[in-house]
Structure formats: C-alpha cells, structure tokens
Structure 1
Amino acid sequence: MGSSVNYDVENGETDKPMLGTTSSESDVLSCVRFRMIRDFVANVRKVIFGTKLLVLFPAIPMAFVAHYYSLDRPWIFGLSLLGLTPLAERLSFLTEQIAHFTGPTVGGLVNATCGNATELIIAMFALHKRKIHVLKYSLLGSIISNLLLVLGSSLLCGGIANLNKQQKFDHKQADANTFLLLLGLLCQIAPLLFNLNTMEYSPKSDGTSILHLSRASSILMLFAYVAYLFFQLKTHTQLFESQEDHEVDDNDIKETASIGSWSAFIWLCLMTLIIAVLSEYVVGTIEDASESWGISVSFISIILLPIVGNAAEHAGSVIFAFKNKLDISLGVALGSASQILMFVVPLCVIVAWIMGINMSLDFGILETGCLAFSIFLTAFTLQDGSSHYLKGVILTLAYVVIGACFFVQHVPFDESNNNNLERVSNAVA
C-alpha cells in the first residue's frame, strides 16, 4: 500500500489525505475507483472490440440518428439491419459467458433460450405491430437458412478443406434434431391441409377450427421442445458430449469466463435493449425498403434478414467445418432451426393468443412446401453420418432455388384481409 502512496506523491496526484478521511482510506478509495475504471475498460475491450464485426458497430448510432431526424425509411432499415449483425454475435458471446458461472444444465438452458433471441425480439415487435406476414416470413427464413445455407456451406467448405478424407459426425445428435423438426413440420402441415379442406367443403367457414388447431399444436410443440431439452441436458447428455469435448480441445480459454458474471449480465441487458430498438426500426420500415428497392417483403424477410442477422453464427459454423469438427457445425445449424420451429414459432402463437391477435400455424402452400423440402433434404443428407462437398453443393443450390421463388413472388399484403384466420371475430379470440 505504501508504494502506491509514494507513486501518487511523486506524480503530483495527491500529497494529502482527503478531508475527513485517513491516508489509508483515501488510498483504498482511489484503488477502488482505479479498479472499477480498469475493469470497465477491460470489459469494453472484450465485449465491443473483441469481435471482428467491430466495423459494423457505427451502423448502430447511425440508425438512431437516421430515425431521430426522420431520414428516408429505407436507410433506417438498412442501417438497423447492419447494426443487428454485431449485436446478435455479441449476444451469443454474453450468454456463453453467463453459462460459465452456472451448472451444465442451467448453462445449457441459458444458451438454448437465448440462442435465437434476436429472431424472437423481431418476431415480438412484428406481432405487436400486427405484421403477421413479416413475423411468419422472418421465422421461416431463419429455419430454412440454417438447414440449407448454413449447413450446406459448412459441408461444402469442410469437404473442400478435407478432400483427402471423408468427414464423419455423430448422427445421433442429428437424428434427435431431425425427429424434432419432423414433428414441427407435421404441426404446421396439419392446419394448412385442414384449411384447404375447409375451403373446399365449407367455404363460408370463419376459420375458428384452424385457429384452435394451431393453438393446440403450439402447446404440444412447446411441450416437445421442453422434453428435448430434458433429453439433451439431463437424461442423455452422453449423446451430446462429443460436441462439448471438441469445444474444449479447440480452445482452452473457453473453460473460463472472459468477464465477470454481473458484467456479463449488465452487458446482456444493454445489448438486448439496443436489439429491441433496432428490431422495432426494422419491422416498422421493411415495407418502405421493399417498395424503394423493388424487392418483395417475402424475399427481404426470408433471405436478407436471416443472412445479415446471423452472419457471425453462420461464419462460426463454417470455420468449425473447416477444422473437421462437423458435430459443432451440426449443433449450430440444426439446434438453431429446431429451436425456432419448436420454441419461437409456437411461442409467438401463444403470445398472440394472449394479446387477442389471431395467428395460425398456416404459413401458406409455397412457404410450407419449402420448409418441408428443406427438412426432408436435410434428413436424407445426414442419415449416414458422413459428409463430402457434393452434399454441401446440393443444399446450397436448393437454398438458391428457394430464394429465387420468393424473389419473384410479389404478393401485396393487407393485414386487414391477409388471411381468413386473421379475420376471425373478436369473440373467438
């Protein structure tokens, strides 16, 4: 302690104790202040400057300025979309930091819950603004993007980087996620088929039966996802240990947290708040951007939003595939798709029900068909537990075909008469 006092005196910072305090108390206060500043600077360096997406952070204040001065709404949309990219990556980083201070079960639950927080926040704002089509398209796009683009590019890059050997992965993890995806697909196809049948035999139906079927299916989907989490985190953890072992071997630093628990929690709340603001900007200006750019809302929601919003997660999956660690890549792609389909989508239906908004699981014929094709193609691709670059090529090209479908689709959306289900009487809600 004495050395610190001599250092302060020599540098002219203080040569007398503060009024009403002893010399030792003054030293303690100065050390505490210095430590707080040092910890804050270290946290900023880890959280803000610790990502390669640092160059996109200026888009965040630019989006705020553009909104404050009421600039062109397409500019607000573009800047907000760019700003969400580093925030989504940092949100994943912070949830991992918090998971270090909890047990494996709680940590896994935190990662599973917050893994797609950006998509959930965007969906909630779209629901609040009664933009059901934007909500459905954005969630559908995230699922298809993970199954075809992320997984396809990972298999393609991993196959090219490992041409001399066949890549292997534990298909048991993939099987568990595939079963979950197939159940979710059934829950979405049932309202669609029921709707088509009703339109043929009962054209005057107000759609209440489809609405009830969707809400019941959503409850079952949430129950199935909870059962999956219990299966993954409690009873059959050995099936998922290979992924965790690879992560530890890849970088020993991952065993310890980079920042403190309270710091991570505060940063997580701050990042979530900023994501919420930017998500509101995105949802509120997406139609204006579509009209200004001449691109359909469906293409922006299904293709652009998932690609830009999850760019960091996608890049991480590809990097692990390059290192011949397909188990981690599969965990990223399939885990994210399963979570959105079995947790985020039914949760939105239940929340809409509580808010008095009529939302069904009927996403439309083209949309549900693309989802079904993506799930079946992914299941066939992963059934033998091996991979090569040709599988990646097929998945990636399939994503391009689906993107082309929605690029040429220009459907005028009118929330007042978008769908029969969204026009059910308030008494039914």
Structure 2
Amino acid sequence: MNLRLFFTLVGASLLLAGYAHYFTENELFRFITSSLAIIFLAAWLGKATESVAHYAGDRVGGFLNATFGNAAELIIAFFLVKEGLFDMVKASITGAIIGNMLLVLGLSVLLGGLKYKEQTFNGQLAGHNASLMMLGIVALFIPAVFMQGLPPLEIERLSIVIAVLLILSYLLWLVFSMFTHRDFLSDIETHDSEASWSKGVSVLMLALSTFFVAVVSEWLVHSVHHVSEAFGWSELFVGAFVIAIIGNAAEHSAALLLAMKGRIGAAVEIAVGSSLQIALFVAPTLVLISLLMGRPMDIVFTAYELAAIGVATFITISITRDGATNWFEGVLLLVVYIILGTAFFFA
C-alpha cells in the first residue's frame, strides 16, 4: 500500500476515534471507532518495527516491539489499578500472556507455514525462553499456594519480594541475551528486507505509533466496560480476552508481517518475548506501582488464570523447543486458545 494512502487511513481512523471519544455519548460507537483506530495504528507500529529490525536485527527488533507493544497493556492496566479493579488487571495480564503465546504465535506460525513449508530459528533461544516461561509459572504458582490464609500484610510483603525478584531476573536476562551471550542467541539466518524509512525515522515512527496506540487504548478501556455489560460478558472474560486482544493488536500486526516474510525468529521473539516481559516485568511492576498509589495489589492469581497460563506455557514450549515450526503447529496453538476462550466465556 502507498505510504501516503496508508497514513491518510491512519489519521482518519484516529480523528474518528477522537471525535467519538470527546464529542459523542454512544459507547458502542466509541468502542467500534477506537478498535478500528487501533487496527490501523497497530499496522503502523508493525511497519515501524520491521524497519527497526532491518537495522538492529531480529532479536533487538523483536524486543523493541514487545516493549513498545506492551506499553498499551501497561497503560490500560495502570488505569485499572488506579480504579482498584485488581481482578480485571490480573485477568488482563493472564489474557495478554496466553494471547501472545497462543493467538499471536499461533497465527504467525500458521500463516508463515502456509507460505514456507518449515521455518527455523535459534534453538538455544527457544531453550532459554522455555526456562524463563517456567520461571514465570513458578513465580505465579507459589503465591497462590502459600498465601492461602495469610494475613493481608504478609501477603503484601511476599508479593513485593516476588515482584522485585522477577524484575531483577528479567533485567539479568536482558544483559545475558543482549550482551554477554548475544552471539549464541543471534539469528541463524540473515534476511534481505528493505526498510521503509531511515534508522532515525524508523525509531521515531516506532515511538509515535506506540504513543497513539496507548492513547487510543485508554479511550477504548472506558467504553469496553459499557459494551461488556450490554452483551453480558463476565469481568474475567473481558479482562482475559477482550482487553487482552485489543492490547495485543500491535504484536499481532508486527509478528504476522514478519512471519509471512520468512522471519519466524523475529515473530517468535515478539510473541514469546512479549509474554515473558508481561509475566516477569509488567505484572510485578504493577504490584510496585499499586503501592505508590496506596492501593496494594497482591500477585495471587486464581486457579482459572494459573491453569490457562500453565497450559499455554506447556504447549508453547512443546512446539518451539526444536527451533522449527510448520503450519499445523500454528493450528494446535489456535485450538488451545479457542478452548481457553470458550472456557473463560462460560466461567
């Protein structure tokens, strides 16, 4: 698509969403226009990420997309924490984790696999990702077991300790993967893709698109509650799937574009890397932020949420551990996601 036409559509959708948010009272219209704007903004972010990855490599490009893409989830969750809606915050965290591992990765593997018979990526990276995913499961499972019956103050203290340890682990992983062992985790293939913009403009585009995704996501979170009540959706389903899918729009766009161009390594880095960032950095950061707001949030998740994250983690590890993917493995991931979505809808 011509860039001028593309940005015309982006601008028009953004103006329409802004008009609906500030000058109308129709919540359904606000929801539809905000969702449409996020779709176009996510495509913009995906194009910017692909351009940055051209200069920085798939690993750094994927990390940047996961970080910038998760800004929407973090901002949405921030407003939910501010309102004291902790159950919905945890449900949205759960949905973001399983959405990235099952929906984003599943669609990327499926569509990329339909074009390429088999796509490969660094097997050592897959192994380390598996270990980090297991750390996330352990860190969420332990509080749910050991905090039962504890006084609120002790639950708060244990949540803080776990949050700090998870953030520290994630920062050390960045040092390990980006610096000390970068060569071992580098891409196994080089790709001859063209960047849409220069290096400086690509970074600027990534920052601008992320900013607007975050703004429109904040608009949408206000209308989604009214829409969910109108359709009779539960808070668990709204948090785990509706808000999570909206927040993951950026990752969807970027990962699919890269996978369909044969760059499955970058797509895996976006999908799995984003889930890891949410579990090991975003979730514990929200726990610490809640303390500053005077509304302490613990890190205890429900049995439904833990089961969903555990299932998503194990199927993702099973499929990615060999460093190769095909379209049928994408189908398996999507089937699991649909099963979980159906279960959450009726829960």
Deviation of 1:355 (Å): 1.4
Equivalent in the alignment of 1:16: none
Partner of 1:130: 84
SS of equivalent residue, structure 1 residue 363: coil
* Residue 291 of structure 1, CA deviation: 0.9
2:141 aligns to what? 189
What CA distance in whole angstroms lies between the structure 2 residues aligned with 1:192 and 1:282? 31
Q: Judging changes above 3 Å, is the alpha-carbon distance between structure 1 residues 169 and 282 closer, same or farther for their aligned structure 2 residues?
A: same
8 Å CA contact 2:259–2:267 kept in 1: the answer is: yes
Distance change (3 Å), C-alpha of 1:325 and 1:88: closer
Residue 226 of structure 1: aligned partner: 171
1:212 pairs with one of 140, 157, 162? 157
2: CA distance, partners of 1:260 / 1:148? 28
Contact 1:286 1:297 in 2 (8 A): no
Q: Write out per-residue CA displacement over residues 1-37 of structure 1, whole angstroms, 9 at most, x where no aligned residue.
A: xxxxxxxxxxxxxxxxxxxxxxxxxxxxxxxxxxxxx
Q: With structure 1 as the length reference, what TM-score do the two structures score?
A: 0.71
1:59, distance to aligned residue in structure 2 (A) = 3.6
For 2:110 and 2:55, locate their aligned partners in 1 and report how far apart those are by CA, in whole Å: 36
Alignment correspondent of 2:38:
84
Verify: 1:336 aligned to 2:244, yes or no. Answer: no
| Alignment check: 8 A CA contact 1:88 1:118 kept | no
8 Å contact 2:113–2:119 — kept in the other structure?
A: yes
CA shift at 1:95, angstroms? Answer: 6.8
Match of 2:128 in 1: 176
The separation in 1 between residues aligned to 2:42 and 2:112, in whole angstroms, is 24
Please tell me whether the aligned partners of residues 99 and 111 of structure 1 are also in contact (alpha carbons under 8 angstroms): no
Paired AA for residue 93 in structure 2: L
The 3 A distance-change label for structure 1 pair 90 and 388 is: closer
- The alpha carbon displacement at 1:216 in A equals 0.8
CA distance in 1, matches of 2:37, 2:141: 35
1:166-215 deviations in Å (ceiling 9; x for gaps)? 4433221111222112111111111111234x2xxxxxx54322222111
Tell me what 1:257 maps to: 199
Contact 2:100 2:248 in 1 (8 A): no
Give me the identity figure in percent. 31
Query: In the TM superposition, what whole-angstrom CA distance separates every residue of 1:231-272 from its partner, at most 9, and x where no partner exists?
Result: 1111111133216x53xx2314369427387xx28x836862
Q: Which moved more, 1:231-240 or 1:369-378?
A: 231-240
For 1:337, the aligned partner's letter is S
Aligned twin of 1:301 = 239
**Distance apart, 1:161 and its partner CA:** 2.9
Calculate the TM-score normalised by the size of structure 2: 0.86
Paired residue for 1:147?
101
* Residue 88 of structure 1: how far off its partner (Å): 3.9
Question: Are positions 1:242 and 2:206 aligned together?
Answer: no
Q: Is the 8 A contact 1:298 1:406 kept in 2?
A: yes
Amino acid at match of 1:242: D
* Alpha-carbon shift at residue 323 of structure 1 (Å): 4.1
Contact 2:102 2:316 in 1 (8 A): yes
**Which runs of 5 or more residues in structure 2 are unaligned?**
none
How far apart in 2 are the matches of 1:349 and 1:134? 14
2:200 and 2:84 map into 1 onto residues whose CA distance is 40
- Report Cα offsets for 1:299-341 as digits up to 9, x if no partner: 2332233334434532442343344432222112111111111
Q: Secondary structure at the match of 1:237?
A: coil
- Structure 2 match to 1:28: none
Equivalent of 1:74, from 25, 28, 32?
28
Letter in 2 for 1:145: G
CA RMSD of aligned residues (A): 3.3
3-state SS of paired residue (2:163)? helix
| 1:145 CA drift (Å) | 0.9
> Which one has more relative contact order, counting CA pairs under 8 Å at least 6 apart?
2
Q: Tell me, in whole angstroms, the C-alpha distance in 1 between the residues paired with 2:123 and 2:233.
A: 39
Structure 1 position 149, deviation (Å):
1.3
What residue ranges of structure 1 are gaps of 5+ in the alignment? 1-44, 199-204, 410-429
Please name the residue that 1:268 is paired with: 207
Q: Say if 1:92 and 1:114, in contact at 8 Å, map to a contact too.
A: no
